[in-house]
Structure 1
Amino acid sequence: MRFIHTADWHLGKLFGQRHMTEDQAYVLEELLALCADLRPDALVIAGDVYDRAIPPPEAVELFNTILTKLSERGISVLFIAGNHDSAVRLDFGAQLLRSSGIYLAGVVRAAEPPVILSDEFGDVYFSLLPYGDPPHVREAFTLDEPPSFDGALAVQIAAAREQIPSSARSVAVAHAFVIGGQSSESENALSVGGSDQVHAENFAAYNYTALGHLHAPQRAGADHIRYSGSLLKYSFDEAHQKKGIELIELDAVGHASHTFYPLAPRHDVRIVKGTIAEIMSDGFDPLAHDDYICVELLDTDAVLAAHEKLRKIYPNLFTITRPNINVNRLSSTERTYERGKSDLHLFSDFFTEVTASEMTEAERGELIRVIDLMEQEVRAE
């Protein structure tokens, strides 16, 4: 069995006030070309198909186009809802799509049947485990108490394993934050305060686990439990990452091998470091100047009209950071927030600045509760 593992497409993404749909369409054409070369039996998308619960029309149209082309080529497509997706909206047409070889799981259900695909060695059972926060898992499984994130995942997996013969080859498709994973700025926290993390041991019974949520390609506790990473770089702390897909091959006994295939974007995401004089000198940067750029300006003094000067060199300049200068010496137009801070940290900093005191544990707990409720409301839209 040969299948492609991908995740976190985030169709409709807005990055630096720029809609990424054209960039996503460009790289998805590369993915289709890879499918023609690699001839997989299936393509698996481990959640976050869209970037928000109500995606823009052009994002929906792009996904429809890709699904249609994959189906026409006889490639089965399996995908689940991630924390950015609207589970109910993504679930639309699930039964009808199965006849075209497209299998999806948006809403958490207590008895979600596995998808069974076959090769020359027999059947392979795919457990589609859509993102389910504790309240939704509690409701779906009629639990007395809300579980932890780890407990919620364990409940989903236990129900899924009951429908798989013990000797069968099996694959899990899930959207979760496995303990020890490398996170990125562009990922929305599943919860506040670290309670969203789950144990890799939950997936021990599967021959391979295709994960989504973390944007860096990486193993998650074992070589057969992996994140494919996101389709594109969606923040500047991902500039060093290689984006692509994993080709997974399951042999007759269920051993999973993986091969990473990179995808080349239309515009790379890069950080350029130097003083204003260095950056403006001839031959300083040999790479494409129309990439999406963050300039880390190393001057210790204020630079007059820095944005205007740098935009002449980099037309897709997104932001400028100033690590070597005191923020009080900068004009308001030059100041930038520290990248990568969560809503909790940003509000805590604001609270301290306004009140000249740290938040109490009770205040922090109440803030965590409110942020979690807001995230749940967004996902329920």
Structure 2
Amino acid sequence: MRVLHTSDWHVGRTFHGVDLLSDQRTVLQAIAALVQEHRVDVVVIAGDLYDRAVPSAEAISVLTGAFAAIRAAGAVIVASSGNHDSAPRLGAFREFLDAGGLHLRTDVRAVGTPIVLHDEHGPVIFHAIPYLDPEMVRGPWELTGRLRHEEILTAAMQRIRGDLDARPGCRSVVLAHAFVTGAVPGGSERSIAVGGVESVSAEIFDGVGYVALGHLHGRQRIADHIRYSGSPLPFSFGEAGHHKGVLIVDIDGAGSIDVTPVDLPVPRPLAEISGTLEQLLSGHDELAEHYLSVTLTDPVRPLESMRRVRSRFPHAVTLSWQPPVGSVDDDAAPTRPGANDHELVEEFLLVCRGAGADPVESAIIDRALAAALQDADR
């Protein structure tokens, strides 16, 4: 059986205020194309299909379109809810969707109930564990005491092993949305810490043929059979160097696995650049279509800097100012005894941007202060 492992689609997410739905539609359609190209039997999605509990109508349209394209390409879909999803909303009409080849697992009470799929060698057992909030499982699983992710995921795997033990020799795949010890976060994940501890040990999954992990956005290997696929798009500049894609997992008749990373297209690359405003505006032609994080190093903060940067780099999304060391007196007192209002404004500008007011600005300051004094006297 050939399985495509993906996770953390976060449909509906924005990137520094920029709508990513178009980019997400592109990469999800690319996943459907990979399904057809590689003759994938099953696509597993390990949580965080949406970015928020109540997705927009446009986000729902993008996700349902991706599901339809994957099904049309010939693969069955097995997916679980993540910590960003609303499990009840995502799992609505589950029984009807199962009949159409879309198996959504969002209810903690169903943990341990398998999805059984077949190939020419027999059954492959899929267990999709939804994100497990400790307090949400306490009642349904009749658990007591302090609950951390380690305890509740262990309890989930006990239920799953109870099913697998009744099927000796069957090949197995488990989906889980968790932070496994030894993995490295990408920087754009929402913390799932409970009681200060969010990580779980890889030993929890002992005995499973393949573990498809979600939650962390960087592709990584915990063990040969325990892997994160990573998100299909970068969601922070810390992920700019990541290879975004999916994992294709071949499971033979004996349960042995072979894992092949496959990169996805990059709708718009990310880059970080720094320099003076004039340096940036006269170079970096190759970055004109990138999402950019810009750091200006001018000794004096340039006026209208973001507008000027975007005139050349329309997809610049963040801008900061880091003047050379010593060009701004960071220890300068914001006020000095006896300073008048105009002098106080001058000192404020000096501290904030590295230079006082020029003659035009000085005249504007005087007019604003005069108007303020008139208003105060009324």
Map residues 55-74 of structure 1 onto 2, 5 A cutoff: 55-74=55-74
CA shift for structure 1 position 327 = 9.7
Q: Deviations over 1:183-230 (max 9, x none)?
A: 12321100266411111111121111100000011112x121111111
In structure 2, the partner of 1:120 is: 120
Q: 2:352 and 2:255 mapped to 1: Cα distance? A: 59
In structure 2, the partner of 1:199 is: 201
| 1:102 matched to 2:124 | no
In structure 2, the partner of 1:278 is: 279
Q: 1:323 and 1:93 mapped to 2: Cα distance? A: 53
Q: 2:177 and 2:56 mapped to 1: Cα distance? A: 22
In structure 2, the partner of 1:158 is: 158
In structure 2, the partner of 1:377 is: none
CA shift for structure 1 position 288 = 4.0
| 1:76 matched to 2:76 | yes
In structure 1, the partner of 2:216 is: 214
What one-letter code is carried by the residue in structure 2 that aligns with 1:124? V
Which runs of 5 or more residues in structure 1 are unaligned? 333-381
Q: 2:227 aligns to what SS in structure 1?
A: strand
Q: Deviations over 1:102-147 (max 9, x none)?
A: 1111121155411111112221111111001111222221113242
Q: 2:31 and 2:287 mapped to 1: Cα distance? A: 22
Q: 1:313 and 1:217 mapped to 2: Cα distance? A: 33
Map residues 132-151 of structure 1 onto 2, 5 A cutoff: 132-151=132-151
In structure 2, the partner of 1:344 is: none
What one-letter code is carried by the residue in structure 1 that aligns with 2:206? A
Q: 2:139 aligns to what SS in structure 1?
A: helix
In structure 2, the partner of 1:179 is: 181
Q: Deviations over 1:330-367 (max 9, x none)?
A: 359xxxxxxxxxxxxxxxxxxxxxxxxxxxxxxxxxxx
CA 1:114–1:297: 2 relative to 1, 3 Å: same
Task: Answer whether contact 1:135 1:146 (CA < 8 A) is retained.
Answer: no
| TM-score, scaled relative to structure 2 | 0.82
Q: 1:139 and 1:117 mapped to 2: Cα distance? A: 31
Q: 2:118 and 2:25 mapped to 1: Cα distance? A: 30
Q: 1:187 and 1:331 mapped to 2: Cα distance? A: 33
Q: 2:136 and 2:13 mapped to 1: Cα distance? A: 25
CA RMSD of aligned residues (A): 1.9
Q: 1:147 aligns to what SS in structure 2?
A: coil
Task: Answer whether contact 2:82 2:130 (CA < 8 A) is retained.
Answer: yes
CA 1:162–1:323: 2 relative to 1, 3 Å: farther
Task: Answer whether contact 1:80 1:105 (CA < 8 A) is retained.
Answer: yes
What one-letter code is carried by the residue in structure 2 that aligns with 1:66? A
In structure 2, the partner of 1:321 is: 320
Task: Answer whether contact 2:82 2:131 (CA < 8 A) is retained.
Answer: yes
Task: Answer whether contact 1:25 1:62 (CA < 8 A) is retained.
Answer: yes
What one-letter code is carried by the residue in structure 1 that aligns with 2:213? L
Task: Answer whether contact 1:216 1:227 (CA < 8 A) is retained.
Answer: yes
Q: 2:240 and 2:352 mapped to 1: Cα distance? A: 26
In structure 2, the partner of 1:31 is: 31
Task: Answer whether contact 1:245 1:263 (CA < 8 A) is retained.
Answer: yes
Q: Find runs of 4+ consecutive structure 1 residues off by over 4 angstroms.
A: 323-328
Q: 1:9 and 1:240 mapped to 2: Cα distance? A: 18
CA shift for structure 1 position 321 = 2.8
In structure 2, the partner of 1:260 is: 261
Q: 1:261 and 1:7 mapped to 2: Cα distance? A: 14
Task: Answer whether contact 1:138 1:145 (CA < 8 A) is retained.
Answer: no
1:330 maps to which of 352, 360, 363: 352
Q: 2:125 and 2:118 mapped to 1: Cα distance? A: 9
CA 1:171–1:15: 2 relative to 1, 3 Å: same
CA shift for structure 1 position 324 = 4.8
In structure 2, the partner of 1:308 is: 307
CA 1:176–1:324: 2 relative to 1, 3 Å: farther
CA 1:308–1:110: 2 relative to 1, 3 Å: closer
In structure 2, the partner of 1:3 is: 3
Q: 1:111 and 1:189 mapped to 2: Cα distance? A: 23
Map residues 284-303 of structure 1 onto 2, 5 A cutoff: 284-303=283-302
Q: 2:65 and 2:279 mapped to 1: Cα distance? A: 45
CA 1:322–1:204: 2 relative to 1, 3 Å: farther
Q: 1:263 and 1:324 mapped to 2: Cα distance? A: 38
Specify the structure having the higher radius of gyration (Cα). 2
Task: Answer whether contact 2:31 2:70 (CA < 8 A) is retained.
Answer: no
Task: Answer whether contact 2:47 2:83 (CA < 8 A) is retained.
Answer: yes
Task: Answer whether contact 1:7 1:212 (CA < 8 A) is retained.
Answer: yes
Which runs of 5 or more residues in structure 2 are unaligned? 331-350, 355-378
Q: Deviations over 1:127-172 (max 9, x none)?
A: 1110011112222211132421101000001101111123211111
Query: What is the aligned residue count?
Result: 329
Task: Answer whether contact 2:35 2:74 (CA < 8 A) is retained.
Answer: no
Q: 1:324 and 1:219 mapped to 2: Cα distance? A: 40
Task: Answer whether contact 2:287 2:313 (CA < 8 A) is retained.
Answer: no
